[in-house]
Amino acid sequence: MINFNVPPFVGNEMEYIRQAIAAEKICGDGGFTRRCNEWMEQHFKARKVLLTTSCTHALEMAALLADIKEGDEVILPSYTFVSTGDAFALRGAKLVFVDIRPDTMNIDEKLIEAAITDRTRAIAVVHYAGVACEMDTIMEIARRHHLLVVEDAAQGVNAFYKGRALGTIGDFGCYSFHETKNYSMGEGGALLINREQDVERAEIIREKGTNRSKFFRGQIDKYTWVDIGSSYLPSDMNAAYLYAQLEHADEINDRRLAVWHQYDEGLRPLRDAGLIEQPFVPEGCVHNAHMYYIKAKDLEERTRLLAFLKQRGILSVFHYIPLHSAPAGQKIGRFFGEDRYTTKESERLARLPMYYSITDEDVRTVIDGIYAFYGRKAEG
Ligand SMILES: *Cc1c(COP(=O)(O)O)cnc(C)c1O
């Protein structure tokens, strides 16, 4: 049996968790949390990084910091995880869904401007599979219309656009360290704050609306309730698990990229024969092998493919039911313009097993399974 995902484990996680416990500081903002924040600030050249309890919560913090209010509109793709919508819907915003590009499955930057109204406050982009959206165009549109940009970079940790880390380009960036992501802490995430003016308020919102972070730095002599907020800081034990992984980030990234290329090269003859489509990575994007997917002809073929692989003990999955066709999405949002690609392309996409510890042999088995489905013999 070949799993779809196995959480990454590189070796030092147990020892670091033990150290967190030995330090008698297992709540939030202990030594490992600080080390994770600093590691990301250095490696991704981020102004400020705050570890959070999830990417969902980082998105909620971004919506709070952006002061999204009842009746505001937020532009986002419908092809995304529910959290991208939830965060803004919780503030009372209307979601305006824009179609995706079929090549990257990212929001189509050329359709954004027409969706802007006088109620639009923000654009939330999703870097699907760790492949960047067309950020130069998106930032230019946002600046011209005075809109904030939130990057849902849940899948984009350690991926880059024209040399800049995903999550550091918009006003806010949101990472996920869920067990299905490239680097993990079980449940967890981070908020990247790219404007100096938001840093202090971000610390306050994350600490239940108090200025406790300032208090711990000795900048004030007692802390108090100064704003609305919630509890968005993870336990230092979880941060300890993550820190072990960040120390081995290159190793994890290299292994995932090797798996990605094994799939890509192994399946190329099927693409050349016109039987499947493969992922596309635009010029200037350095991806992180978060995902390997193929596209079948249509929904019916994909359904048969997933069932065929499952019979062979291979767990491959589909992705996402577009938000605008889900019951909540219909209530909270509307699709702007024509749904040319969102539904059609989402129905064709199949994600293949992809994780740090998968073996070359297992990848070979998956490739062979796909050849068998299409009635072809794998080469090599
Ligand atoms: C995984 C994911 C999330 C949610 O991450 P959590 O850390 O589980 O909250 C949000 N958006 C996208 C695009 C994701 O892939």
- For 39-58, the pLDDT digits (tens) are 999 999 999 999 999 999 99
Of 60, 85, 83, 81, which Cα lies nearest the Cα of 73?
85
pLDDT over threshold 70, residue 170:
yes
Q: Ligand 1: which atom is nearest the Cα of residue 155?
A: 15
Q: Is the dihedral of CA 319, 325, 329, 335 positive or negative?
A: positive
pLDDT over threshold 70, residue 243:
yes
Q: Ligand 1: which atom is nearest the Cα of residue 180?
A: 1
Q: Please, what is the average pLDDT of the chain?
A: 97
In this prediction, residue 240 carries a pLDDT of 98
| Threshold 0.85, pTM exceeds | yes
Nearest CA to ligand 1 atom 8: 178
pLDDT over threshold 90, residue 23:
yes
DSSP 358: -
Answer whether 23's CB lies under 8 Å from 30's CB: yes
User: Which residue has tokens 């490739």?
Assistant: 367
Q: Ligand 1: which atom is nearest the Cα of residue 181?
A: 1
CA of 21 to the centre of ligand 1 (A): 28
**317 phi-psi bin (left φ>0, alpha ψ -120 to 50, beta other):** beta
In this prediction, residue 6 carries a pLDDT of 96
pLDDT over threshold 80, residue 207:
yes
Give 25's pLDDT tier (boundaries 50, 70, 90): confident
Give 19's pLDDT tier (boundaries 50, 70, 90): very high
pLDDT, average across residues 6-25: 95
CA of 59 to the centre of ligand 1 (A): 9
pLDDT, average across residues 325-329: 96
CA of 100 to the centre of ligand 1 (A): 18
pLDDT, average across residues 328-356: 97
Give the pair of three-digit tokens for residue 202: 């971000």
In this prediction, residue 377 carries a pLDDT of 82
pLDDT over threshold 60, residue 168:
yes
Going from the C-alpha of 109 to that of each of 136, 147, 239, 255, 327, the distances in angstroms are 10, 14, 35, 31, 26
Which of 4, 5, 51, 56 to mutate for ligand 1's pocket (most ligand atoms within 8 Å of CB)? 56
Which of 51, 57, 59, 83 to mutate for ligand 1's pocket (most ligand atoms within 8 Å of CB)? 83
In this prediction, residue 380 carries a pLDDT of 57
Nearest CA to ligand 1 atom 14: 154
CA of 43 to the centre of ligand 1 (A): 21
pLDDT, average across residues 111-124: 98
Give the pair of three-digit tokens for residue 345: 């392309």
pLDDT, average across residues 254-267: 98
Give 361's pLDDT tier (boundaries 50, 70, 90): very high
pLDDT, average across residues 85-113: 98
pLDDT over threshold 60, residue 310:
yes
CA-angle at 42, arms to 60 and 153, nearest 5°: 35
In this prediction, residue 193 carries a pLDDT of 98
In this prediction, residue 378 carries a pLDDT of 78
User: Which residue has tokens 């034990």?
Assistant: 237
Name residues contacting ligand 1 (CB within 6 A).
54-56, 80-81, 83-84, 126, 152, 154-155, 176, 178, 189
pLDDT, average across residues 145-169: 98
CA of 154 to the centre of ligand 1 (A): 5
CA of 157 to the centre of ligand 1 (A): 12
281-298 core/surface letters (b: 16 or more CB in 10 A; e: else): beeebbbbbbbbbbbbee
CA of 299 to the centre of ligand 1 (A): 24
Q: Ligand 1: which atom is nearest the Cα of residue 189?
A: 7
Give 350's pLDDT tier (boundaries 50, 70, 90): very high
pLDDT, average across residues 266-276: 98
pLDDT over threshold 80, residue 295:
yes
